[in-house]
Each structure stands twice: as structure tokens, then as C-alpha cells.
Amino acid sequence: MATKGSKGAGKSLVRAHLAIHEPPVGDSTSPGGIMETFSFDFNPAQLSLSRRAQWKATPAQIERTGARPEFMGVEAMQMGLEVFLDSSDEPTGNTVLKKVESLLECCEVTLKSIGTKQPSPPWVVFQWGSFSTARFTAYISSVDVSYTVFGTTGVPIRATCRLQLHEIPSKTRGQNPTSGALTAQRVHRVVAGDSLQSLAWREYGTAAAWRSIAQANGIDDPRHLPSGTELIMPSAEEVGG
């Protein structure tokens, strides 16, 4: 059963969230600046992951047991998940409606990408703690919404959204030499005393990597870093590249 983070034992749970980014400019395979972080009130009850390898086998007349198959490549990973939204404690609010609109807009072209003459919907990164298998850059191919409860003004106050994510392939991901885990992006919430240089030193071992953090988050003024800001921390492979 899903547990809301603002009540009871839910406070101790690691919350899932979806970072919504501008698409990159040029041929980059790294997401652009962050547009919004969609925090889940309820963690998903189920995730479905799929990946397929393509093989080709051509029948041969002289082979009695069949021809040897030829490996053609690996398809991108896909993930399906449900997002449960509930604001029944605020029956006159429009929190659910706004969150659904944010998800639906992930299938629409961003204004910034139109300006760069590379029209594209946002890119997203789903994260849930240390669940690295489900963490990859993707686009949302479909959003299906079911409104189930409505407030006194007719505005939805409960909804279930079904998302389908498709991985956007990048370079072969490296291995973290200390943990063996796949390198991946993560989110850091800024606290008092943080700077891009200190975060870069702590994360990558070099303060010079602050530019990569700034670029990934669309930061123009690195001196202005308000507490509570959520920053996408690029993978070590992306910084090294």
C-alpha cells in the first residue's frame, strides 16, 4: 500500500521523484536545465521494466538445425509506473490538477527548444533512492490519467496517472570503481554553506567540475544558490566527458 510522506512512518521513507529537464541543444545526450522536480506524495506501488535484445536468424537450406542467429543490438529500456495523487484534505484546492498538467506537458514541445530550432518535449530522469536500475534519462511517451474523486467545485482532488518512459540511449555507462554500481545522475538539495565548487569537490574530487553542475541545471549566476534548491548532479562519466 502506498504511504504518503507527510504522515506517520512515511516521514522515514525515501521519496521517488521525477526531474523534468529541457531537452539538450545540439547532439548532446545529457538533459538540459531542470524545469521542475515532480515529487511523489506516494511512492509507486509497482514499477515495470523491460529491455529487449534483437536477434536475426535467416533460414538456410543446407542447415538441418537452423541457421546461427546474428545479434543485431539492444533496444532502449522502457519503464511503466503509476503515480497516485491525492489532495482530499484540501477539497477546494487545485493541487492535483496542476500536477497532472505538469505530467501532460511532458508530451508537449518546450518553448525553449523551439527557440533553439530543435523542437522537443522535455527529457526526464526518474529517481528512487539507490534503485539505480530504474534511473535513466528518458522521454515520456504516454500519460494516461484517471480522475476518481472531485471536490465541491468540480475540480479533481484524486487521480491516478500511468506513465510510460523510454530510455534515451547515451554512451555505454561506466562502472563506479568503489561500489561497482552504474554511474547515474542524482538530486542534491542545497543547504546553507553549499556552493557549486564545494559540491563539485565533494562529488567528483575537483572543484572545476562546478561548470558541469551549472550547465545541467541552467544556472547563470553560480553565486546565487538558495537553500532548498534541488540540483541535478551529473554522472561522473558525464563530467569526465
Specify whether the backbone of 154 is left (phi greater than 0), alpha (psi in -120 to 50) or beta.
left
CATH number of the domain to which 212 belongs: 3.10.350.10
The residue out of 170, 205, 223 marking a domain boundary is 170
Determine, yes or no, domain membership for 6: no
Q: Is residue 59 part of a domain?
A: no
Q: How far apart are CA 200 and CA 211, in angstroms?
A: 9
- Look-up: residue for cell 506537458? 105
**Residue 53 has which C-alpha cell?**
535484445
- Give the domain range for residue 135: 12-52+71-170
Count structural domains, the chain.
2
CB atoms under 10 Å from CB of 71, counted, come to: 9
CB neighbours of residue 229 within 10 Å: 16
CA–CA dist 194, 204 (Å, integer)? 15
C-alpha to C-alpha distance for 4 and 86, rounded to whole angstroms: 9
Q: Could you read off the pLDDT tens digit of each residue along the chain, which spans 241 residues?
A: 444 444 433 444 678 889 899 998 888 778 888 888 888 888 998 999 999 998 887 777 666 666 778 888 888 899 999 999 999 888 888 899 999 999 999 999 999 999 989 999 999 999 887 787 888 899 999 999 999 999 888 999 999 999 999 998 875 444 343 333 334 567 788 888 888 888 888 888 888 888 888 887 778 888 888 888 888 887 776 776 5
127, three cell numbers: 529517481
Contact of 32 with 236, CB cutoff 8 Å: no
Residues 102 and 146 in one domain: yes
Q: Do both 140 and 207 map to the same domain?
A: no
The residue from 116, 148, 170 where one domain ends is 170
